[in-house]
């Protein structure tokens, strides 16, 4: 996957605070070969990468489909897969 084909289409978070564990300094989500639902809340920084290449970064609270082959690092926030 290249940076030109990656698309994060995050939308407003539909889950409340009780859906998440406590805020963490770092959450590292490894890439896999299938799509997953990603949720993150109150994050200082969220990075999306493939093969060690940064593709996109954002912050705040969102949810969306994480494409296969994409890893995520969540810095100072809450996050989980669904």
Pairing state between β 36-50 and 71-81: antiparallel
- Looking at the domain assignment, is residue 2 inside a domain? no
- Looking at the domain assignment, is residue 7 inside a domain? no
Domain of residue 41: give its range. Answer: 17-81
- Looking at the domain assignment, is residue 23 inside a domain? yes
Q: What is the pLDDT of residue 11?
A: 97
Triad 78, 65, 69: Cα angle to 5°: 95
- Looking at the domain assignment, is residue 31 inside a domain? yes
- Share above pLDDT 90 across residues of the chain, in percent, rounded to a whole number: 90
Looking at the whole model, is its pTM more than 0.75? yes
Q: Which helix (H) or strand (E) holds 48?
A: strand 36-50
* Residues 52, 69: Cα–Cα separation, whole Å: 11
Q: What total number of domains does the chain contain?
A: 1
Query: What are residue 47's phi and psi, to 5 degrees?
Result: -115, 145
- Looking at the domain assignment, is residue 29 inside a domain? yes
pLDDT tens track for 30-47: 999 999 999 999 999 999
Distance of CA 54 to the CA centre of its chain: 13
């Amino acid at each position: 996957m290249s940076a030109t084909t990656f698309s994060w289409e995050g939308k407003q978070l539909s889950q409340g605070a009780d859906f998440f564990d406590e805020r963490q300094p770092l959450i590292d989500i490894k890439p896999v070969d299938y799509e997953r639902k990603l949720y993150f809340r109150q994050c200082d920084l969220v990075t999306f990468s493939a093969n060690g290449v940064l593709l996109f970064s954002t912050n705040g609270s969102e949810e969306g489909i994480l494409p296969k082959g994409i890893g995520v690092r969540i810095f100072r926030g809450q996050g989980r897969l669904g």
